[in-house]
Structure 1
Amino acid sequence: MKVLIIEDEELSAERLENLLRAIDTDIHVLAIIPSVFETISYFQNPTNIQPDLIFLDIHLEDDNGFRIVESLNLMIPIIFTTAFDDYMLKAFKTHSIDYLLKPINPLELQASLLKFRKLREPAKEKKEAPAAGHATEKYKDRFLVSAGPRIFTFKTSEIAYFTIEQRATFLRLFDGRHFAVEYSLEKLTQLLDPASFFRINRTLLISIHAIRDIHTISAGRLKVELDPPASQEVFVSPERITEFKSWLGR
């Protein structure tokens, strides 16, 4: 595996390189580059070897690391490395594999590399195309709700999240209104497109478009800010964090 490390802190770069070699001796670090300018020059030089994977620090000596992705329209998988969690959501909206906070934990690094390898592996079995006349899998795209004597219908794209409150399930729209629905969260996870909705904890099933920001509170703790805001602070269940990150980067 050919890897490019983009990092302006020499000690951090050396530590990452040593961790990579300890995890897999087949990993070859092509170069360690400290700046946005030098990185862009590297990719614009046709004689340079293209990496399979990039480790990209967000705060570089001359600019923000996202400038590289934007300037080159990079489609090479990226694992972001940073001492801050301010850019987690933006990172997962790029072609990223993972987002690692410094100092990098060797086990988290190993898990990120495993995720990269799984994504690179060609599918062992191709799904058969549906036979003529057979419908493809379709997720629920509309919900019927009632409020007093009135009945409303809403597109799924209008829904920010579903939540359990006082043992009942409610949907909350992006405009802030909320209505009771006759479904459990378990049933809703089967009815909704998993590319768009994810159950982050016992009481919340959210749309990816409702995420305003994500913060790492401590090891194994992710706080999510939603729009519209939830009635209380929202955290991803620890056992769902890895799957949640994969969902963000899908």
Structure 2
Amino acid sequence: MRILIIEDENPAANRLIKLLKPYFPDAEIIGNLDTITSTVDWLETYPHPDLLFCDIQLADGNSFEIFKKVKLSTPVIFTTAYDQYAIQAFQVNAVDYLLKPIDPKDLERAVAKFKSQQLKSGIDLGMIKELLEPKAQTFKSRFLVKYGEKIQSIPVDQISFFYSEERITFLQTHEGKKYVIDQTLEQTEQQLDPKEFFRINRKYLCSLASVDEIFTYSNSRLKITLNHCEDKDILISREKVQEFKSWLDQ
């Protein structure tokens, strides 16, 4: 974090730096600017700071001239011996307006207000970013199955298809081995990459590699056979035909 102090009185600038250290122990505090000209030059040369402390009466004029010459979105805490500029101060990103000599309690309040605003801003930006960026969805890479007294982990790329029979869901590998899995076909479908697996009908969820043959069938339906599958009458409804063809053609 970088904090810039604009102050034409060295003792006041040094005291402010000392007061700020406990609140921003890791911050880079720049405190050697004391005129409108030097401040404008600095702001046009270097990246803008995260927080700005600014006296109003400087050696070469009123510091509000700085904000007329440089477009700033940096939060500002004004420090001044005069109270007549308060309204004008809050027109230029002012977080607070502190009267000299600065009361540590007033500074603590101003810093708390700044940190609160930064926190809210960070949350808002995070939410916006989360909404705008597509979430990277993760899919299962293996399924845990029980085989007799043994437990095995079957990689997804070894699975030919899933099917449901009498409310039990089965997993079948490319080698033709069958295993029971403890979840529904609907739950299984949500866990798999849709580029690799397709829900053919209420009974079958197949992998791309499992599709053996495809035939046209009555009423604009399709009939398919799956590798190592005993069921030779697997039908795809007319409503799902185009989706199935698109899946094959991706």
Q: By percentage of residues, which structure has more helix?
A: 2
Q: TM-score range by the shorter chain?
A: 0.3 to 0.5
**TM-score under structure 1 normalisation?**
0.47
